[in-house]
Structures are given as structure tokens and as C-alpha cells.
Amino acid sequence: MLQKLRARSKLTKPTLNLPPRPRKLPFIGNLHNLSRFDPPHHTFTELAKKHGPLMHLQLGEVDTIIVSSPEIAKHILKTHDITTDKICTLELLSTKRVQSFLPIREQEVLDLCKWIARHEGSPINVAEKVSLRNYDIMVRAALGKKTNEQATFVAIVKEAVEFIVISGLKRKIEELHVKSDRIIGNIIEDRKRVNAAKIDEGKKQEEDLLDVLLKIQEAGSLELPFTMDNIKSVLGFSSLSLIHFDGIETSTTVVDWAMAEMVKNPRVLTKAQNEVRDLFDSKQHRVDESCLDELTYLKLVIKETLRMHPPAPLLLPRETRENCEINGYNIPAKTRVLVNVWAIGRSPKYWENPERLEPERFLHKSVDYKGNMFEYIPFGAGRRICPGISFGLANVEMPLAMFLYHFDWILHHGMKPEEMEMKESCGVAARRESSLYVIPVPVVRQPLPVSFEG
């Protein structure tokens, strides 16, 4: 076996000019370069300092390219790009569909604020509570009311996300795919029976994504046949793992880090609170989307949080469909490509004082989330830009605004802001290593109604 590997290596070396890479080992490739104690994007950033912004690694069974500069990221994301699942994007994550979730989101944020008010003086885990609410929103939006099978499916999605980006364990991913396919099949059959019964009884149906997909199938309005397998694919673990990143993981992680950074930086916290409270008080306490558009400083805080802590520090993997050349190097077909957004956002070459929270740095920068400035691509760029930007940001701005308006926040156990740990976890997403526990002190005793008027 080893002789065959060596022979194959000798044959390929003269013909391919691959990007630089660290020394690899038989069978495991460069998995030994990944640390159990550091997040993978941190490790890739350190390796790139030695081997360059376009680096070749073999992770398990998969050849992988790591991109750590805006120039090469632009080449990858605009030139060598492929489209995502259009149905998933158009139906679940479109602006129109996200707006239709407003009543769901309104109720979930109100419920969360009421829960926080009832726990006045007790430390709460911000990420845990926000994440639970966001999963409720996703499940209700995609599959309707929650059931035990849906809870099992969400658990599979969470597990799958940890394997998709880094691990080369294809067998495990396939096992999770089979499990999710079976559960989705059961949910679809149950829904068809329920819908048929409602039609017979003349009852009005509330539409979620599954209902929309079943209508598309029944109408036959697409150019190609839309089968039950297609529906399973859109609702299946691949698409909803994408939604996990695009919506749930994004919003949960950003809210958590934004709260942590503001608590650690009292100047920023006070400035954001004053803006929110002045605005909402002037609007007779009515909070709608037009109000959120006026929260200029809070939006700067969110932008800066995304620069420092992109929720997906490694963009979801791309795969080259054919042999290509990037930056003078040969990239074989079927090579996985990871863009290290975290490294780009922390590079002193492009950002002054990159380790410091400075929301004001965006005051005079015409930077948006559309991926036009490749020094700042927290949601990716090109045709495969994160389709869940609207979904994710909608679940960030309102919770943060309500938290800042209704509560003051203090650290538990008498901890001082400068004593806070700000390390990232070793998972795929850039979560906090230690949970953020803060004590809410209500300013407005009862959370006020939220009015969305579109």
C-alpha cells in the first residue's frame, strides 16, 4: 500500500504545481496539523503566515485549498464559482419570505424578553436562550409546528454541521444523510395527510416552506419535474445545514459576541444603549422596522462584531469542478476550497488595530454585506454569497435592540469587564469558548409590544 502511494506521488509531482503546504503524513494527510486546543481557522491563519495565502492541505481523504487573502478570495468567489440551491434560497431565505416570518420573530423576541424580566438578578446564558428561539423560528418557518421528529431532525443538522466543513469522515456524513432523509419523508407524508383533511373540512391552511414545495410539485410549474426526492433535498440535511449556518448560527453567534464585546467595552455599550433608548422613547415605545433602520450606531456595532467574529470563519466549502489555475498554481478538479474569512478580517494589512473593537471605523467606509469589498466578507461573496443574510440579520437587530432598551447588563460574581475571557471555541463556528453569563437589570419593567408595520 505504501509503495503504491509513493509511486502515485512520484507520478503526480512533476505534472502539478500545487500551492505550498506543510509536510503531510500517510493516510491522515495534514490532520495532525490541526490542534485540539485551537479553532481550525486560527491554525490555518498561523500556517498561512509560513506557507502563504494560498495553501494546500490534505484533510483526511480530501485535498483542500485554504485561502487567506482578499485578492485570492475574489478570484475564487467570482471566477471559480457555482450556484446554490435556488429553491431553498428563493422560498425560505428570500426577503419576502423573511418578512413573512415577522409575526413569528416578534412573538419569540417578546417571549424571550419576558423570560429575561422574570429572571431579574439571575445570570443568564445569552447564546443558549437566543439559539433556542432561533431554532423555533427555523422549524416553524420550514416545517410548521414543532414535533418530536422535527426535534430529532434539528439534532441531526447540528451534528452534521460539525462534520461538513473540516472532517474527512464521509461515512459519518452519509449516515446522517440517511437518518435525515427518513425523518423528512415521514414529515412530508404526515403533512400531505393533514392538508388533505383540511381541504376536505374547508379549513384555511397556514403556509410554511413544506407547503410551498408541495404546491410547486402539484402545480408542475418548474421546467424540470419536481419530485419527492427534490423536496427531501431542499428540506434535507444539506440545505438545512446551510440554513443552520446562514440563519441560526449567524444570528446566535453575532448576538452573543456583540453582547460580550459591548459588556467588555462599556463605552460602546453606553453609546449603543443611549441611541436605542432615545429613539424608542421618541417613538412612544413602538418598535418597527423603520425604527431599526435609524439605529446607526447599533448597525456599526454589528458590522464590527462580524469583522472580528464572523459566525462562519471558514466559508462553507466549495469544490473545483475541473482543473484550474489560481495565482499561478495548479488546482486539480474535486479539490475542496476553504476561504478563511477570520484571517482576512483580522489582517493588519487591511485593518488598523484589527484586534480592537472600533465600530466607528465603519462610519466613513462604504462597506455592506454584499461581498463587494473582499477585505470584509462575513457572509461570503459572488453567486454563492450567504443566502440567509436577511434571515440572519433580522434575528440579530431586534433582539439586540430590545436587550439594550429594556435591560442594563452586568457581569456575575463581581467580574470586571477587563477580566472577561474572549477566546473562541474549537468548533466549526466561531462561538465563544466560555458561555457569556450576564445579569439583566430591567429598566422598563414589562417588555412593551413590538409593532412591525411593513
Report the candidate in 314, 287, 356 with the shortest Cα–Cα distance to residue 113.
287
What domain range is 212 assigned to?
69-315+346-442
- pLDDT tens-digit map of 34-68: 888 889 999 999 999 999 999 999 988 889 999 99
Is 234 a domain residue? yes
Alpha carbons 321 and 304: distance in angstroms, whole number: 35
Output the average pLDDT for the chain: 80
Reply yes or no on whether the pLDDT at 256 is more than 80: yes
Does 18 fall in a domain?
Answer: no
**What was the pLDDT predicted at 11?**
44
251: its cell numbers: 444570528
Report residue 437: phi and psi, to 5°.
-105, 120
**196-218 mean pLDDT:** 70
For residue 10, what pLDDT band results from cuts at 50, 70 and 90? very low
pLDDT of 2 reads 47
Find the mean pLDDT for residues 448-452: 50
Lowest mean pLDDT among 11-25, 33-47, 78-92, 158-172: 78-92
Binding positions are 386
Let me know if residue 454 belongs to a domain: no
pLDDT-based confidence at 254, cuts 50/70/90? very high
Residue 175 included in any domain: yes
Mean pLDDT of 246-261: 85
d(CA 60, CA 30) in angstroms, rounded, equals: 7
Going by C-alpha positions, the residue among 43, 104, 96 that lies closest to residue 454 is 96
Mean pLDDT within 61-88: 76
- Rounded to whole angstroms, what are the CA distances from 16 to 12, 133, 151, 215, 332? 6, 49, 47, 50, 8
Q: What is the CATH number of the domain that holds 241?
A: 1.10.630.10
Residue 9 — very low, low, confident or very high, per pLDDT cuts 50/70/90? very low
User: Given this model, what pLDDT does residue 5 score?
Assistant: 46
pLDDT at res. 447? 56
Q: Does residue 182 register a pLDDT over 70?
A: yes
102 domain-assigned: yes
Q: Residue 428: pLDDT band by 50, 70, 90 thresholds? A: low
Q: How far is CA 141 from the centre of its chain?
A: 17
Q: Is residue 209 part of a domain?
A: yes
Is position 289 within any domain?
A: yes
Residue 11 to residue 318: CA distance in whole angstroms: 26
Q: What is the pLDDT confidence band of residue 229, given thresholds at 50, 70 and 90? A: confident
Report whether pLDDT(215) > 60: yes
Strands 336-339 and 62-67: parallel
Tell me the pairing of strands 407-411 and 324-326: unpaired
Q: pLDDT: is 102 or 307 the higher one?
A: 307
- Please, which pLDDT band fits residue 296 given cuts at 50, 70 and 90? very high
Please tell me the predicted confidence (pLDDT) of residue 273: 96
Instruction: Report how far apart the first and last C-alpha atoms of the chain are (Å, whole number).
Output: 65
Task: Say how many domains are in the chain.
Answer: 1
pLDDT for 420 beyond 90: yes
CA 117 to CA 124: how far, in whole Å?
11
* pLDDT at 162 (0 to 100): 59
pLDDT in tens, 337-362: 999 999 999 999 999 999 999 999 99
Residue 272 has a pLDDT of: 98
Is residue 424, in this structure, part of any structural domain at all? yes
Task: State the pLDDT at residue 370.
Answer: 82
Res 17 pLDDT > 80: yes
Strands 329-331 and 318-319: unpaired
Question: CA–CA distance from 154 to each of 88, 173, 357, 426 (Å)?
Answer: 17, 15, 34, 21
Q: What confidence score (pLDDT) does residue 359 get?
A: 97
List, as residue ranges, the binding site for heme.
Answer: 386
CB 183 within 8 A of CB 240: no
Reported confidence tier of residue 83, pLDDT bands at 50, 70, 90 = very low
Confidence tier at 165 by pLDDT (50, 70, 90): low
Instruction: Give the 3-state DSSP-derived string for 399-425, with helices as H, strands as E and coil as C.
Output: HHHHHHHHEEEEEHHHCCHHHCCCCEC
pTM of the predicted protein model: 0.79
- Please indicate whether residue 173 or residue 61 has the higher confidence score (pLDDT): 61
Kindly tell me if the per-residue pLDDT of 195 is higher than 80: no
Binning pLDDT at 50, 70 and 90, where does residue 446 land?
A: low
Contacts of 48 (CB under 8 A, 6+ apart): 55, 66, 68, 340, 343
Assess whether pLDDT exceeds 90 at residue 297: yes
Q: Hey, what amino acid is at 234? A: V
Q: How far apart are CA 153 and CA 184, in angstroms?
A: 8
Show the 3-state SS of the chain: CHHHHHHHHHHHCCCCCCCCCCCCECCCECHHHCCCCCCHHHHHHHHHHHHCCEEEEEECCEEEEEECCHHHHHHHHHHCCCCCCHHHHHHHCCHHHHHHCHHHHHHHHHHHHHHHHHCCCCCEEHHHHHHHHHHHHHHHHHHCCCCHHHHHHHHHHHHHHHHHCCCCCHHHHHHHHHHHHHHHHHHHHHHHHHHHHHHHHCCCCCCCHHHHHHHHHHHCCCCCCCCHHHHHHHHCHHHHHHHHHHHHHHHHHHHHHHHHHHHHCHHHHHHHHHHHHHHHHHCCCCECHHHHHCCHHHHHHHHHHHHHCCCCCECCCEECCCCEEECCEEECCCCEEEEEHHHHHCCCCCCCCCCCCCHHHHCCCCCCCCCCCCCCCCCCCHHHCCCCHHHHHHHHHHHHHHHHHHEEEEEHHHCCHHHCCCCECCCCCCCECCCCEEEEEECCCCCCCECCCC
- At residue 245, does pLDDT exceed 60? no
Per-residue pLDDT at 423: 92
**Quick one: which of 309, 165, 177, 190 has its CA closest to 236?**
177
